[in-house]
Amino acid sequence: MPADVAPVTRSASLLLAERFREVNGDHPMTEADDAYVTAQFVPLDTLCADHGEDPDEVRRLMLTGLLPLPGYLRSDGAEMVPRDLFALAGAAGGVDRLQAWFTGHWEAPAQGAAEWAAYLSGRYVCLHAVTPENILRKERLTAEITASLAAAGADPSPEWRAALHARVDALDALEPAFTAYDRLRFGGPVSRDTCVDAPRALFPPAAAPSRTPR
């Protein structure tokens, strides 16, 4: 290569796409997937323009483990991120303080580190708002629902059904609908399938007692 010709470097966007596929695998996005993602998320470039951020600097923060990876790569290559991508860093007092603030929500350091790694992966697309509080609440609800289903008898009581559906409804409020792409990258059913849709199908709410007219 001539001395006056600079080597070609890969763009931050290309590096980010490569990293995304390392984490999620290389699965096709259908038109339905694209429509779902466009309704739920926003392109990184658009969000950065709205907040006065440099997109390539944000990509650098993602690649160095200071901000989470995009939730999806749309078929046109757009890096799709949550609209509140910068909210947690703001709550923590800055990107450099985010990790300590985030992991401090867990008593066990190992659990906090594991949740931080999961957060950075961008795969927390299972929550409308990805916050430590919501992560903890989802974990508690899915564990309680799973335990309830495992202990269900042949004909659960109306009180048991009411308690189950209270938890299911609470989880439903936390989670979006998911899309087919999610079931490919996660390798099977998602928590909405197992802890929202399945309990509702298996154990419909008990019918309200009829009232005798007077």
Q: What is the pLDDT of residue 153?
A: 81
Q: Are the C-beta atoms of 56 and 65 separated by less than 8 Å?
A: no
Nearest to 127 by CA among 65, 193, 192, 185: 192
Nearest to 163 by CA among 183, 141, 188: 141
pLDDT band with cut points at 50, 70 and 90 for residue 205: confident
End-to-end CA, the chain: 96
User: For residue 214, is pLDDT > 70?
Assistant: no
pLDDT average, residue stretch 168-180 = 97
User: For residue 135, is pLDDT > 70?
Assistant: yes
Range with lowest mean pLDDT among 3-7, 110-114, 147-151, 155-159: 3-7
pLDDT average, residue stretch 80-103 = 97
Q: Are the C-beta atoms of 44 and 80 separated by less than 8 Å?
A: yes
User: For residue 108, is pLDDT > 50?
Assistant: yes
pLDDT average, residue stretch 126-146 = 97
Residue 209 CA to residue 44 CA, distance in Å, equals 52
User: For residue 157, is pLDDT > 60?
Assistant: yes
What DSSP character marks residue 58? Answer: H
User: For residue 53, is pLDDT > 50?
Assistant: yes
Structure-derived torsion over alpha carbons of residues 104, 96, 121, 143, reported in degrees to the nearest 10: 10
Question: In whole numbers, what is the pLDDT of the chain averaged over residues?
Answer: 92
User: For residue 9, is pLDDT > 70?
Assistant: no
pLDDT band with cut points at 50, 70 and 90 for residue 18: very high
Q: What is the pLDDT of residue 2?
A: 41
pLDDT band with cut points at 50, 70 and 90 for residue 209: low
User: For residue 65, is pLDDT > 50?
Assistant: yes
Q: What is the pLDDT of residue 21?
A: 97
